[in-house]
Amino acid sequence: LVEWTRQRDEYLDEMIRLDGLGSDSAPLSCAYCGLEGRCRCLDCFNSRIMCDGCARSKHKHNPFHRIEVWTGDYFEKSLLHAVGFLMHLGHHGEPCPRSSPPSTKMTVIDTSGIHTIQVAFCDCLEPCILRRTQLLRIRWWPATIDRPQTVTTLRCLDTFLQRSLQSKLNMYDFYLAIFHLTDNT
C-alpha cells in the first residue's frame, strides 16, 4: 500500500483520462471508417471512437455492451438502442426476408444490467416459429407467453441460482444490484 501511495497521482490521472477523450482530440472520427465518430464502448477491450453505424455493426453479437456518446464536452451514458441498434432473430443474426416493421422494444435483464433492445422477429411461414420460441433459442427467458416485451437472460438466471445457493441472496437484492449497475443515481 505504501508503494501504491507514491504512485496514486499517476493512477488518478489515468482514471480521469479514461473519462475524457484520452488520446483522441476533437473533432472525433471513427477509427474504423473515418466518418464522424461520437461513440465508445465501455465493455470492448481497448475500445476506440466509433460512428453510430460502426457501433451497431461491431455489437451485432454483443447487444449488452454499454456505450457512451460524446456530447461535445463529456461522454454521456447511452444505449446501443439510441444509435439505432436492431437485433435480428432467426437467420443467424441476419435480417429476416419476411420480417415486417415495426420491431419490438424489449427490456432485457442480464447480469450486466437492464437493457432496452430493439428486436426484429423472424416472420417466415415455413417453419413458423413462435416469438417466445425465438427468444428461448437465444437464451432469453420471456416474462410472458403472449407478446413478450420483457426477458431475462439464462445467464442472469443461472447467476442468481448460484448466488442464492452459495450466499442465500434473495431475488429482490439481486435485482436491485443489477438495477444499480444500469443506473446508480
Element (H, E) at 77: strand 75-78
pLDDT at 22 over 80: no
DSSP letter for each residue of 168-182: ---HHHHHHHHHHHH
Model confidence over 105-163: pLDDT tens digits?
999 999 999 999 999 999 887 788 899 999 999 999 999 999 999 999 999 999 999 99
Task: Give the number of other CB atoms < 10 A from CB of residue 143.
Answer: 13
Cβ–Cβ < 8 Å for 178, 111? yes
Contacts of 157 (CB under 8 A, 6+ apart): 141
pLDDT at 127: 80
Cβ–Cβ < 8 Å for 130, 147? no
Model confidence over 39-75: pLDDT tens digits?
999 999 988 999 999 999 999 999 999 999 999 888 9
Domain boundaries, the chain: 2-83, 86-182
